[in-house]
Structure 1
Amino acid sequence: MKQIKRAKIALEDGAVFKGYSFGARGERYGEVVFNTSMTGYQEILTDPSYKGQIVTMTYPLIGNYGINPEDVESRKIFLEGFVVKECSKVRSNWRSTKTLNEYLKENSIVGIEDIDTRALTKHIRLQGAMKAVLSTEDLDDKSLVKKAKKSQGLVGIDLVKDVTYDKAQQWSKEGKYKVAVLDCGVKFNILRKLADRNCKVTVYPAKTAADEILKGKPDGVLLSNGPGDPAAVPYVAQTAKKLLGKIPIFGICLGQQILGLALGGKIYKLKFGHCLWPDVNTHPVFRDGLVHDLGVANCIHLV
């Protein structure tokens, strides 16, 4: 009979939630955040933007359609830990090749279930995303809280270097428009959608110089999504600054924040992640040669 292993997640403000482990066993540190999606857990697990974070799913049952090789968003799982109310023991989908539990175990990702994930989410909404530790080994509340407080967090830490490619990759070889993607942790689906729109896509490592990108004569440059603090990757902002005015450029997620820095903007961290849909009539973004203090919301995670 399989032994049930207890687990706990402790936050730096002293809150502790207890449950049972699934996936790998061990101890992991990260910023605890939440995601309200009902599906798409495999895409969330493999999204490089979650590097350095412990992700809480608010939907009560996760893992019911299993795992398949087609729905990954990167070459591996990058998040630090996974928190659910219930990890499904049954996988029901014709494409499924393994269970969520098996997938996490193979990738050495610690999971915790049987906790009130909505209570944890409400706590984060009130107090803000914060440092945490998830453990199956140390179950002492005071010890865990102390460890969470001492963990490094995300501020000032370059996580892009851990998720970017080591060398340039040709994603699609054919297309009318040549797009250079500066990889800060790009998701596969962004690349797929560019290719679907008749783009020849080349993915460059995050530290690629502007001159190297321009050698490829792209029609435009995308600064990709990615994890962590945009202020911790000034080399990407410098590259973007050198490209401005020479070629069309746009950013997604972390890339948008880096573009804001390159334009002279300031970054401030939200209490927890948002998806904002601004009214362009009341919140226009433009560059007119004047000095602007742009407030760029740091959406490290999207909900």
Structure 2
Amino acid sequence: MLGLISRAFPYRARGARFGTYGSLVLVAPCNMACPYCDVGGYAKDSQHRLPGWSEMSTASIIDFVRDEVAEGSVIYLTGGEPLMFPELVVELGSEIRRLGGYSIVCTNASLSGRLEQVSPYVDEFSVSLKGNAGLGEAASGVTGKLAFEVPRRNTVGLADLPNAVEIVVVMFDGLTVDDIVEVYAPLFGRASFAFKEYRHKATVAHADHSYTSTPLQLADAAVVRPMPRDQIRTVYGQLCDRYPQFVESFTLVLGGGDSQVVVTSAGEELFTP
């Protein structure tokens, strides 16, 4: 398995695990090519590999997971697209559960039937759709229904599964409150939402299993651009004002790499690695 294991940022959803550090199990490849990918971006090669990725045995991944669960870490199964390897997700999820840990599958939700397949073996799904229907192809790097329509349908279907659900809404320039409501309203009250600043970057993995991201300059003609931070706060505030009954499930995440500001109904908190 081509992969990488590393530490992650704290769990962002409000509740008993808020602030608990996580550990990443990353696998390649992916069926999308999002240029802003947290664990790749423009540093990936044609096989979706990061610098520092290597072939890993399932046994070595399980050993890492056991150690991290023993330290109290939440385990993120991510990539790439982990649901390209559902058998691995089932195996790791089952072992994490046996050890008393907590697993989160981070997915683009484009592979129909895979969410249902692994659902009994994992605790939570974290899904990031690609903006809205208008931004989908530019943000995902693929064309047609796979870019947005299919992932959105599969994501809304999570309401019928027993797993916890986190929706990561990347704040691209041009995304409005009405866009967010149109796409995600069926999951209000069912899922937790992390509204996350878009950071255009390249990522490098290190031998100690950590990784760092370097911001890049966008070309003037770029279709997908970051929303200005003050506008992000405005849109987030408008959403909270419109849906006060759901504000406990809304989180705003600004920054990344060396620090994140996490905004919730309880206030703001700075997290650093």
TM-score (norm 2): 0.28
TM-score (norm 1): 0.26
- Give the greater-gyration-radius structure (CA): 1
